[in-house]
């Protein structure tokens, strides 16, 4: 009887040992098949030589009429009393065209947010995705995150990334008012020159 118990104990201990080593091996195998990071040669993603692309287009922000392209989505209690509309947050889906006329050929949209971020002048925080629809850039995007002091003749805003043809994008956008006169209307046509490094 004592021998049988001893045998059973041995069997139990042996099978437990096998079971745990399988567990450990399994855990190690699992860790190996999900590696968190690795170094790759850039060619493995087809990245060859970085190139510089210049894009030129007009941006239409339409505030009045039946087809507005922006919407005020938030403001502070104090915004209406602020000379710089500080705190106003505007969502836009603004057309981008080749020429300055609204009827000119569309090349994409500027989709995102601008928000009044200065108490001393009208200056916006711009968070925009430029979504292109033209030619080889159809479906590619460029992301802008920058400061836009809208009465300064030439504004510069950083490009912080992109997708599609603009993966790994960096660069800057220059913006200048083409047709914007607040005494006439709040509609604005803005000329954009975008200089972007990408692969
Ligand atoms: C599992 O990984 C640990 C730590 O990396 C290592 O010490 C152990 O020997 C590995 N076990 C097996 C069964 O591979
Ligand atoms: C407003 O936009 C829609 C969709 O783009 C278009 O079909 C419509 O003709 C436009 N209306 C006016 C008054 O421009
Ligand atoms: C600001 O003024 C507009 C227009 O008069 C009004 O519709 C809006 O409710 C006001 N906003 C606040 C936060 O008071
Ligand atoms: C852009 O791509 C979309 C989706 O693939 C397609 O429907 C559209 O016709 C294309 N536009 C142009 C101008 O090539």
Give the pLDDT score at 121. Answer: 97
The pick from 138, 141, 164 for probing ligand 4's pocket by mutation, whose C-beta has the most ligand atoms within 8 angstroms, reads 138
pTM confidence score: 0.79
Contacts 24+ apart (CB under 8 A), 103-110: 104/58, 105/134, 106/133, 106/134, 107/57, 107/132, 107/133, 107/134, 107/137, 108/57, 108/132, 108/133, 108/134, 108/137, 109/133, 110/59
Give the pLDDT score at 33. Answer: 84
Distance CA 26, CA 12 (A): 21
Residue located nearest, by CA, to atom 4 of ligand 1: 28
Give the pLDDT score at 132. Answer: 98
Residue in the structure block whose two tokens are 């009393």:
81
Encoding tokens for residue 45?
């993603």
Give the pLDDT score at 143. Answer: 98
Give the pLDDT score at 26. Answer: 66
Q: Quote the ligand 2 centre to 107 CA distance (angstroms).
A: 17
Task: List the pLDDT tens digit at each of the 199 positions of the chain.
Answer: 556 656 666 666 566 666 666 655 666 666 668 889 999 999 999 888 999 999 999 999 999 999 999 999 999 999 999 999 999 999 999 999 999 999 999 999 999 999 999 999 999 999 999 999 999 999 999 999 999 999 999 999 999 999 999 999 999 999 999 999 988 889 999 999 999 999 9
Helix (H) or strand (E) holding 82, with range, is: none
Ligand 1 atom closest to the Cα of residue 27 is 1
């Amino acid at each position: 009887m004592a021998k049988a118990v001893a045998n059973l104990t041995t069997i139990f201990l042996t099978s437990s040992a096998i079971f745990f080593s399988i567990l450990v091996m399994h855990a190690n195998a699992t860790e190996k098949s999900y590696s968190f990071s690795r170094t790759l040669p850039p060619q493995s993603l087809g990245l060859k030589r970085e190139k510089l692309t210049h894009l030129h287009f007009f941006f239409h922000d339409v505030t009045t009429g039946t087809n507005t392209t922006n919407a005020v989505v938030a403001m502070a209690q104090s915004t209406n009393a602020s000379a710089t509309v500080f705190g106003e947050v505007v969502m836009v889906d603004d057309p981008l065209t080749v020429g300055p006329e609204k009827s000119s050929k569309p090349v994409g949209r500027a989709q995102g947010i601008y928000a009044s971020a200065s108490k001393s002048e009208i200056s916006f925080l711009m968070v925009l995705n430029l979504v292109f629809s033209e030619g080889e850039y159809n479906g590619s995007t460029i992301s802008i995150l920058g400061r836009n002091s809208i009465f300064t003749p030439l504004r510069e805003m950083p490009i912080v990334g992109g997708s599609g043809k603009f993966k790994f994008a960096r660069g800057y956008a220059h913006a200048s008012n083409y047709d914007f006169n607040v005494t006439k209307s709040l509609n604005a046509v803005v000329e954009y020159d975008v200089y972007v490094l990408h692969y």
